[in-house]
């Protein structure tokens, strides 16, 4: 586990890199990503993050990096066993949290369990079958929108009370 100073330095380097990468973004978008709170990472040891869809892929890597940096990380997974397995592999203070972003009951249950939260990362998502839009049926679009659009709204709203209690909220 890195020291608090190492963690702060590492996150500062990430911020500098993000600042560089988003140089050409519109001001409003940059502020959303890099907003004042993200500019300071001192004391990250006490921060709590939730990454949805963190049992594999990009979400798992994000969770791993946050756990490595000393944060407590809820590893969101719609499947309990896959979430537990991923949290075990991530290590640090990674905690499995069953969360299907398309299921209102699952979202509410997860929000009841994770009542302290500083960072929400809406990563869970699906894509189509690599077909062109004219070859996809409407059901596939519905599934994608349920996960990638309405799921993000449901999860964000469910965890807003916890984020609002945070001294340094970010999503």
Residue ranges binding ligand NAP (CB under 6 A): 52-53, 55-59, 78-79, 82, 99-102, 123-127, 147
CA distance 95 to 73: 6
**Nearest in space to 42 (alpha carbons), one of 69, 71, 4:** 4
- What percentage of the chain's residues is helix, strand, coil (to nearest 5)? 55, 10, 30
Residue number with CB closer to ligand NAP (44 or 121): 121
In the complex, the smallest distance separating the C-beta of residue 128 from ligand NAP, rounded to whole angstroms, is 10
CA distance 61 to 18: 17
Q: For residue 84, give Cα distances in angstroms to 11, 18, 80, 163.
A: 26, 31, 6, 24
In the complex, the smallest distance separating the C-beta of residue 142 from ligand NAP, rounded to whole angstroms, is 13
Structure letter (DSSP) for residue 49: E
In the complex, the smallest distance separating the C-beta of residue 5 from ligand NAP, rounded to whole angstroms, is 31
Residue number with CB closer to ligand NAP (34 or 62): 62
Q: CB–CB of 59/74 below 8 Å?
A: no
Residue number with CB closer to ligand NAP (116 or 145): 145
In the complex, the smallest distance separating the C-beta of residue 163 from ligand NAP, rounded to whole angstroms, is 19
Residue number with CB closer to ligand NAP (64 or 78): 78
């Amino acid at each position: 586990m890195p020291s608090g100073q190492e963690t702060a330095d590492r996150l500062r380097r990430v911020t500098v890199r993000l600042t560089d990468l988003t140089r050409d973004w519109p001001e409003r978008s940059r502020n959303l990503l890099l907003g004042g709170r993200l500019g300071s990472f001192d004391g990250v040891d006490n921060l709590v993050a939730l990454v949805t869809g963190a049992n594999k892929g990009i979400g798992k890597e994000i969770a791993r990096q946050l756990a490595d940096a000393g944060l407590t990380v809820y590893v969101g997974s719609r499947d309990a066993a896959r979430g537990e397995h991923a949290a075990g592999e991530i290590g640090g203070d990674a905690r499995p949290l069953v969360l299907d972003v398309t299921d209102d009951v699952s979202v509410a249950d997860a929000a009841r369990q994770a009542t302290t939260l500083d960072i929400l990362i809406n990563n869970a998502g699906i894509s189509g079958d690599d077909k062109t839009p004219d070859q996809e049926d409407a059901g596939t679009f519905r599934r994608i929108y349920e996960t990638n659009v309405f799921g993000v709204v449901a999860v964000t709203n469910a965890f807003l009370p916890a984020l609002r209690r945070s001294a340094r909220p970010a999503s």
